[in-house]
Structure 1
Amino acid sequence: MKALILALWVIVTASAAEPVAGDPLTRPIAAERAKQWLAPVPPEKIFGTTYLVGFGGMSVALIDTGDGLVLVDGALPQAAPAILANVRALGFDPKDIKYILSTEPHFDHAGGLAALARDTGATVVASARGAEGLRAGAMAADDPQLAYGGSWPAVTRLRVMQGGEVLKLGTVAITALATPGHTMGSMSWSWQACEGEDGGRACKAIVFASSLNPVSAPGYRYTSAAGAPFVAAFEASYAAMDALPCDVLMSAHPDNAGSGRYNDTPGACRAYADRSRGLLATRLAGERAGTVK
């Protein structure tokens, strides 16, 4: 099966993975790490009807619900054709994508959403704060990375979900999990994937986690009055991740969750939260000591 997917991937991506010249929705964003983030890798089955259709440094998930497809995240604008090529390489029709779930209103994860929604007819789903950023195609005024600037193609077809709400399609129920901190609009997503027949049927809890990195543009302080709500938000997100059923973890940037494209070791979600706890503690200590620029 893997060999067949690889062969199809080579054939499909050879002709369909490049942005169309002059297309405003796939116009490349020249990010410093774009080449690393968008390193091409074949699509991969994770478990049941859950797949990865993204890149070496940026995750995009695909869920086959039996009554339509769901994508999670959209990567950079220039990544949209490659994502759809990966969907085709798995034998699916991108026109069957009904929803695209957004993790955060930043260009590296939301940049491709507008093109993907246009080319599939799908509705983009985000948190209320996330949707504000997607409509604007820009970071929120309180975003710790705001001073970096930048924008991305705005999204117009949107559905807002709150943390704890469930999106049902076909045989799959996907739960929205508010995980603010990296942005106030960050949202993670969880669902159950199953395979096998009755008697030998196995199911796993899958989590696609938003970024939890406490990073910012120079000059921002988490120890300031403006930063305090973000510290509190991180703490709430850590508690949520700690309590989450989590057999397989995928993260927006895979290297944040482990050494591979996903992490299926016990306690993966708790380890993901602990990594951010350590980074935040170091960051706060550095600000108080005056060593953070």
Structure 2
Amino acid sequence: MSVKAALLAALLGGCAASAPTPQAIAPAGSVSGKDHVAQCKGRDGWSDGAPPVQVFANVWQVGTCGIVALLVTSDAGHVLIDAATDDAAPGIARNIERLGFKLSDVKTILNGHEHLDHAGGIGALQRMTGARLLARAPARAALESGEAAADDPQLGLNPKFPGARVDGIVADGEVVRLGPLALTVHATPGHTPGSTSWSWRSCDGAECRSIVYADSISALSNDSYRFSDHPAYVAAFRAGLDRLAALDCDILITPHPGASDFHARLVGAAPLVDANACARYAAAGRARLDARLAKEKAR
């Protein structure tokens, strides 16, 4: 997909391009990782409200107990990645304001994949913020209609969600820029046709990290879908896994916290920074895809 020139540019390689501004310092509204996880104990629903928590530098988890929604901040405006469900949207908005940020300063919304649990709240937050929604072409129809595309392996499994207006189309390898922020698009189709992962650099003083928001990569489907009947789709799935495995990846974050042991890492029970995390995540996804194909072959 293409996007207006003002939003696209070559990714800046140095940390200075995405260094946090003074407003990225943890404000009073943020809780510690331990408090965030404690308040989510026994509550992991898609819409279960959670307090906001700083992940690293200018990156904040403002989503729910069961779904990650990331706010990446700068003095030039903020980027929101994913918005959980429609029911969760008001809580996400409150979390952004609780951190001391203005909803009107959220200028860009991005998405992992076009299902209710990650895209359901986008329309509401788009209206609250006035932000532009950017997405890859295969996700557009589903994001706007709220219904899975015909080539989604999970067609019929997920409830319809309120649609949102897609304002711009981005393509694999392109960069979405907002002031000093530069987030790279990575096409990782498979879980859905429009599945997209995102990477960028954030800095806390002299400490800079490569952060990857890696979309879901599980080979799930309805009862009638066979991945083995769609070799082109499987090839694109594998190519996306290869992209993820090759990324510079200090901090891995996934839409579902459990997929990357996110809560344990927030409380310090596991390392937040792990340069091999994306490679392991991709390898696990590849193993599940291979297992699914083998199961289909055995039928």
TM-score, structure 1 as length reference: 0.83
After TM superposition, list the pairs within 5 Å mapping 1:50-199 onto structure 2: 50-148=59-157, 150-196=159-205
The residue type paired with residue 246 of structure 1 is C
Residues 233 and 261 from structure 1, CA distance in 2 versus in 1: closer, same or farther, beyond 3 angstroms? farther
Distance 1:254 1:116, change over 3 A: same
Q: Is the 8 A contact 2:250 2:277 kept in 1?
A: yes
2:261 matches 1:258: yes
Cα pair 2:27 2:99 within 8 Å, conserved = no
- Tell me the residue number matched to 1:271: 280
**Within 2, Cα distance between the matches of 1:264 and 1:37?**
26
Q: Is the 8 A contact 1:67 1:169 kept in 2?
A: yes
Aligned residues of 1:129 and 1:184 also touching (Cα < 8 A): yes
> Structure 2 vs 1, CA of residues 98 and 259 (structure 1 numbering), >3 Å: closer, same or farther?
closer
Equivalences, count: 259
The CA RMSD measured in Å over matched residues stands at: 2.0
Instruction: With a CA cutoff of 8 Å and minimum separation of 6, indicate the structure with the bigger relative contact order.
Output: 2
1:149, CA displacement in angstroms?
Answer: 5.4
Distance 2:292 2:235 in 1: 14
Of 236, 239, 250, 1:236 maps to 239
Q: For 1:41 and 1:109, how far apart are their aligned partners in 2? A: 15
Give, in whole Å, the separation in 2 of the partners of 1:183 and 1:177. Answer: 14
Q: CA deviation at 1:272?
A: 1.0
Higher mean C-alpha deviation, range 127-136 or range 67-76: 127-136
Q: Match of 2:45, SS?
A: helix
TM-score, normalisation: structure 2: 0.82
Is the 2:219–2:288 contact (alpha carbons within 8 Å) kept by the matching residues of 1? yes
Partner of 2:30: 5
Kindly indicate whether the alpha-carbon contact (under 8 Å) linking 2:81 and 2:109 is maintained by their aligned counterparts in 1: yes
Unaligned segments of structure 2, at least 5 residues:
1-25, 36-42, 266-271
Find the aligned partners of 1:251 and 1:204 in 2 and give their Cα distance. 16
Are residues 1:249 and 2:252 paired? Answer: yes
Amino acid at match of 2:220: V
In structure 2, what residue type is equivalent to 1:52?
Q
Of 190, 195, 220, which residue of structure 2 is paired with 1:215?
Answer: 220
Contact map agreement 2:153 2:222 (CA 8 A) in 1: yes
- 8 A contact 1:117–1:157 mirrored in 2: no
**What letter matches 1:62 in structure 2?**
L
Is the Cα–Cα contact under 8 Å of residues 47 and 87 in structure 2 kept in the other structure? Answer: no
2:48 is aligned with 1:39: yes
